Structure 1
Amino acid sequence: MNKEREHWGSRWGFILAAMGSAVGLGNIWRFSYAMGEGGGSTFLIIYLLSVILIGFPVMMIEFAIGRRAQTDAIDAFKKLAPKSFWVIAGGMGVLAAFIILSFYGVIGGWSLKYIFSYLTGGVSGNTETYFTEFVGSTFEPIGWQFLFMGITVAIVMLGVQKGIETSSKWMMPILSILLIVLAGYSLTLGGAGEALTFMFHPDWSAFTDPSVYFAAVGQAFFTLSLGMGIMLTYGSYLSPNEKLTSSAAYIIILDTLFAIIAGLVVFPALFAFDLDPTQGAGLVFIVLPTIFEGISGIGLVVGVAFFILLALAALSSGISLLEVVVAYLIRRLGVSRKLATLGIGFIIFLVGVPSSLSQGAVSIEVFGDPFLDFMDKFSGSLLLPLGGLIVAIYGTWSWKSDELLEHTDLKGVAWAPAFLFFAKFVAPIAILIILVFGMLSW
């Protein structure tokens, strides 16, 4: 039975939803962590160039495929390139979204736990001990993971307009306000000068370090939710006459601003308290709570505001990941949105339980890594870049140049030849390097 496909209620609803997907945990803590290890402003310069020269072309191709096919990530390639191997890209996107959400829900649950902790008195004692005892327990992290997944399922179950679009319209403004307020406050703590120098004064010697390029290109690629079927799926809910260029530009600009402002939240506070910015996940759950404890009077308020920010960022990405899988199941099985969302949401929750337990409760390792770390590496180092590479090659080599420009609304545009060059050569080569480097490091 063919059902009429849902569409976005407005252009800005689509932009906010796609932006919500791009703005996630990676913007709030991973960007700052990667920037801390990558030489500060050196990393930022390479990241910005990567977003423009690589991220923009790949995003345009994903949007174009989705808008033209008007179906889910897997069926899009079956429809546009029947009986070909290109469908692998769609399958990898759906699988990646499934896997990422399974452990993303665990970390999202942690953020809800910390909101509750700050609302009921804050993180007491040693922050590292508090974190390790919490994630190392058996049942409590799973309970918070279940709550996070329940909220995600409830939003996606409401549909594209009533659920995803409506939630994005209120979540993104709240996210923006919280981020700007926290950045403004962080700049008053005494580390603003060092932070601004670190973020915006280039260390030219760092440009000779190849790892900075890998980190910056990888961050640009992954923060934009490319290669996981999200932008393709969201593009499929666009009407055929919707323009893509300005929408993609808005999403990339706003996502980048979020990342930079998040850096203005983290780095001034770290320098003010003389702490190390290269702490990974600990930056959020161990180092920043230490800072909040040191803020007299309003530490609890700042703490709860930050973790609300983190939870909303996780949720905005979580609903986009779930929608990729739900869209496929609705079409493939012919079931209702409610049944597809409830069923696959619960399965993803169950798959995420080993990730939660592997953080200390039970020793669950794959190739020497805790289960959560393995799932992260498998999706990030293999599925995403490989899926993104196939999408980029399909759009630039399966379609003729005139077709690509027509499908991306760039036919007759002055800078179309430059777009073709970067989409056809620079982006695939850069993604291939990220793929090889990721697999070697794994």
Structure 2
Amino acid sequence: MATSRGEFSSSFGFIMAAAGSAIGLGNIWGFPTQTAQNGGAAFVLVYLVLAFVIGYPLLMAEFIIGRHSRSNPVGAYRAISGGKPFVPVGYFGIIVAGLILSFYSILAGWMVAYAVEPFFKLIGADDMAAWTVNQGNLSRNILFTSIFYLLTIGIIIGGVKSGIEKWSSRLMPTLIFMMILLTIYVLTLSGASDGLKVYLLPDFNKITDAQLILSALGQSFFSLSLGVGTMLVYGSYIANKENLVKLGVFVTLADIAIAFLAGLLIIPAMYVAANTGTEIFDEGGNLISGPTLVFQILPELFNSMGAIGVPAALVFFILMSIAALTSSISMLEVPVSYAVDTRNLQRKASTWVIGGFFWAISIILVIYFDKLFGLVVSFTTQYSQPLLGLVICIFIGWVMNRNSVLEELKKGNPEVANSLFMKVWPFFVRIVSPLLIVIVFLQSLNVF
């Protein structure tokens, strides 16, 4: 069964695919600005702890459920004893993954547009360059959203080994290499040292600050693409010979490392931009974050670099497009895996139909952007993801047979029963992680 539906052929391919899913646009600008606003290295320290306290246990839960069932979120709950009441949750996870893809592809399309702009500048087509970065232009937004969907669909059609693994194994090392090169260059510029101090020097007076802890908690949860079934589906493609415990550690470390590297790039880059006269603080005195940072501050930085600015912009926005693509393929794979596994449909046809369906939703969001975009983002990331993550913890911690969990872990790690992991992980996934997820959820509702 596992072979017919595809498997990752190597540990490296899986780690690159899973890390690619976890590392997206939010990591590359969200983590650095959260760090800068919440005590610098103090935030990093709290984030590191919480990534393993809440993120890693839930990541392992998804891997175990996925490989044990060899199925998608719906099929997994159907296949595992006691899981039938959770089947609606599986369907909900698939819907949420598709909705995240719908709004994410719009932002990713903007990244592609900004990556294309330097080409037009280099050939002297300034009017075309201006059109590609005009966010208010409807035809431009539809075009680049569609281009991004075609890239995503093209990879998913290839399947697990020839599509997801092949391209993740190429795109992720490219992403890391480009980030390192760009970081080294930015750190040579005037003003970068100020950003480096903000990012790396700890303010331990803030380490017990409730807002810092909650921000780190939310970042650790969302940065690993948890709750919507992407990691569950990827887990279903892991070969039995692989050690799930080690794979989970590698994926978590890769996510943390690239988020940290992004901080070494973004925060100094912002202070370099400030050194050339760009405003990098909002009215509240906080560093600007989110789309405003990526689409306003950084282009101004590249424009201030003179001749090197155009190629630097090209490298950066290609980098952002790669980060977006490695995440979007995991989102589309969730509903496609359901169609292939549960409905016995052909992968190619399923990918086109499902990709086309969510593309249509994206176009609706583009047309009614002001009314719908923020609503969909809040519904999926602030409310749905924490609840779905909570259900996964409840299922594997309290419903799924403990012997089944242990036997799954033993497949690639025969000694796991007596390991520190089995002494600690069950307690975290049953008690600690659910409790922290509830805190994240209540915080998103502004309860405290």
Q: TM-score, normalised by structure 2?
A: 0.90
Q: Determine whether 1:386 maps to 2:387.
A: yes
Q: Determine whether 1:54 maps to 2:60.
A: no
Secondary structure in structure 2 of the residue aligned to 1:335:
coil
What's the counterpart of residue 337 of structure 1? 347
Q: Matches of residues 100-139 of structure 1 in structure 2 within 5 Å?
A: 100-121=100-121, 134-139=134-139
What's the counterpart of residue 397 of structure 1? 398
Q: Determine whether 1:411 maps to 2:412.
A: no
What's the counterpart of residue 164 of structure 2? 164
> Bigger CA drift: 7-16 or 53-62?
7-16
Q: Determine whether 1:424 maps to 2:425.
A: no
Deviations 1:137-191 (A, max 9, x none): 2211111000100110011011111111100111011101101001111111133
What's the counterpart of residue 214 of structure 1? 214
> Bigger CA drift: 152-161 or 263-272?
263-272
Distance in structure 1 (CA, Å) of the matches to 2:245 and 2:342:
30
Q: CA deviation at 1:415?
A: 4.3
Amino acid in the other structure paired with 1:212: L
User: Relative to 1, partners in 2 of residues 1:166 and 1:415: Cα closer, same or farther, differing over 3 Å?
Assistant: closer
Q: What are structure 2's unaligned runs of at least 5 residues? A: 125-129, 275-279, 282-286, 411-415
User: Relative to 1, partners in 2 of residues 1:294 and 1:195: Cα closer, same or farther, differing over 3 Å?
Assistant: same
C-alpha contact (below 8 Å) 2:97/2:334 kept by paired residues: yes
Q: Determine whether 1:318 maps to 2:328.
A: yes
Q: Percent identity?
A: 33
What's the counterpart of residue 272 of structure 1? 272
Q: Matches of residues 174-253 of structure 1 in structure 2 within 5 Å?
A: 174-253=174-253
> Bigger CA drift: 191-200 or 148-157?
191-200
Secondary structure in structure 2 of the residue aligned to 1:67:
helix
Amino acid in the other structure paired with 2:266: V
Distance in structure 2 (CA, Å) of the matches to 1:87 and 1:144:
35
Q: CA deviation at 1:394?
A: 1.0
Q: CA deviation at 1:135?
A: 2.1
What's the counterpart of residue 127 of structure 2? none
Amino acid in the other structure paired with 1:350: A
Amino acid in the other structure paired with 1:330: V
The Cα RMSD (Å) is 2.3
What's the counterpart of residue 303 of structure 1? 313
Distance in structure 1 (CA, Å) of the matches to 2:13 and 2:64:
18
What's the counterpart of residue 376 of structure 1? 377
Q: CA deviation at 1:81?
A: 3.2
Distance in structure 2 (CA, Å) of the matches to 1:184 and 1:83:
50
What's the counterpart of residue 127 of structure 1? none
Deviations 1:221-257 (A, max 9, x none): 1111110101100111112332101111111111111
C-alpha contact (below 8 Å) 1:68/1:240 kept by paired residues: no
Q: CA deviation at 1:131?
A: 9.6
Distance in structure 2 (CA, Å) of the matches to 1:264 and 1:191:
13
Q: CA deviation at 1:355?
A: 2.2
User: Relative to 1, partners in 2 of residues 1:2 and 1:202: Cα closer, same or farther, differing over 3 Å?
Assistant: closer
Distance in structure 1 (CA, Å) of the matches to 2:408 and 2:391:
18
What's the counterpart of residue 349 of structure 1? 359
Amino acid in the other structure paired with 2:362: G
Q: What are structure 1's unaligned runs of at least 5 residues? A: 125-129, 366-370
User: Relative to 1, partners in 2 of residues 1:319 and 1:2: Cα closer, same or farther, differing over 3 Å?
Assistant: closer
> Bigger CA drift: 270-279 or 216-225?
270-279
Distance in structure 2 (CA, Å) of the matches to 1:101 and 1:170:
22
Deviations 1:251-284 (A, max 9, x none): 1111111111111111112122323332321111
Distance in structure 1 (CA, Å) of the matches to 2:132 and 2:431:
45
Distance in structure 2 (CA, Å) of the matches to 1:111 and 1:378:
23
Amino acid in the other structure paired with 2:339: L
Amino acid in the other structure paired with 1:303: A
Distance in structure 2 (CA, Å) of the matches to 1:437 and 1:116:
39
C-alpha contact (below 8 Å) 1:77/1:86 kept by paired residues: yes
What's the counterpart of residue 437 of structure 1? 443
Distance in structure 2 (CA, Å) of the matches to 1:304 and 1:132:
13
Q: CA deviation at 1:133?
A: 7.5
What's the counterpart of residue 79 of structure 1? 79
Distance in structure 2 (CA, Å) of the matches to 1:381 and 1:408:
31
Q: Determine whether 1:294 maps to 2:295.
A: no
> Bigger CA drift: 411-420 or 249-258?
411-420
Distance in structure 1 (CA, Å) of the matches to 2:435 and 2:88:
19
C-alpha contact (below 8 Å) 1:34/1:278 kept by paired residues: no
> Bigger CA drift: 207-216 or 330-339?
207-216
Distance in structure 2 (CA, Å) of the matches to 1:64 and 1:317:
21
Distance in structure 2 (CA, Å) of the matches to 1:3 and 1:424:
32
What's the counterpart of residue 368 of structure 1? none
